[in-house]
Amino acid sequence: MKVLVAVKRVVDYNVKVRVKSDQTGVDTANVKMSMNPFDEIAVEEAVRLKEQGLATEIIAVSCGVTQCTETLRTALAIGADRAILVETTQELQPLAVAKLLHAVVLKEKPDVVILGKQAIDDDCNQTGQMLAALAGMPQATFASKVEWVNDRLQVTREIDGGSEVLSLQLPAIVTTDLRLNEPRFITLPNIVKAKKKTLDVITPEALGVDVTPRHQTLKVSEPASRKSGIKVASVDDLIVQLKTVAKVI
């Protein structure tokens, strides 16, 4: 079983995001970047499938600027066998990423494609579903458990108010949720080994994919600051405040 895992370079989740002064986007200058947490879970799940003897090769793929090689090296240190960077300086929106991944899927012919359910920078939650539509492959989103049962991929996914179990015929696409696993700590020997693993660089043009943005961001602004709360002496005072100040009753 060949597994392809898509990873994205995003602002580290511990960093307080700041909006540029001209409100054209988020300020990423001198900001720590890391692998999208949901994608890190996807890589970990692929490695676990290999440790179970189910996966024979893990390919990590990223789309974006040259610095994405750092993210791919992290995936290689976790346990991926080789990596592919689709290098471009163009702004990549979910559909463009899905098209690029589809082109890589056609080239590599993986049995399973694993992605994070969403990226923490744009929160779109679209790429996995779009890729499934383009590739015509069955999908299981928000996976909290992945098993191999009766020559099929059995995925438990989280839904509103509970969970459901899907049985997928390969090739298939899975998007990961937080409860799927806890990524392992990367050791120094594995970091050293990752530097020796293959990392290929290609371009969208080589894949025959047009990544021109389809929509334009007009303005990015920080959320309005919340007003401080007040204390009331009694229930009657609370009702007065709700009626006259908050005007919610």
Spans of all domains in the chain = 2-222
Cis peptide before 171, with omega less than 30 degrees from 0?
A: yes
Q: Which has the higher per-residue pLDDT, 62 or 21?
A: 62
pLDDT value at residue 112? 94
Q: What is the pLDDT of residue 25?
A: 80
pLDDT at 27: 81
Average the pLDDT over 174-202 and give the result.
92
Inter-helix orientation angle 127-135/94-108, to 10°? 50
Q: What is the mean pLDDT of residues 207-222?
A: 88
Q: Domain spanning 2-222: which superfamily? A: HUPs (3.40.50.620)
pLDDT at 132 over 90: yes
Maximum alpha-carbon separation in the chain: 71
Q: Which residues pair with 190 in a beta bridge?
A: none
Q: Write down the pLDDT at residue 131.
A: 95
Question: 68-78 and 37-51 are packed helices; what angle lies between their axes, rounded to 10 degrees?
Answer: 30
Top-confidence residue, 15 or 108: 108
Least confident of 24-33, 109-118, 171-180: 24-33
pLDDT of residue 6: 95
* pLDDT for 215: 87
Whole-number mean pLDDT of the chain? 91
Give the pLDDT score at 216: 85
Residue 235 has which token pair? Answer: 């229930």
Question: What is the average per-residue pLDDT within 148-161?
Answer: 89
Ranking 10-19, 72-81, 141-150, 222-231 by mean pLDDT, the lowest is 222-231
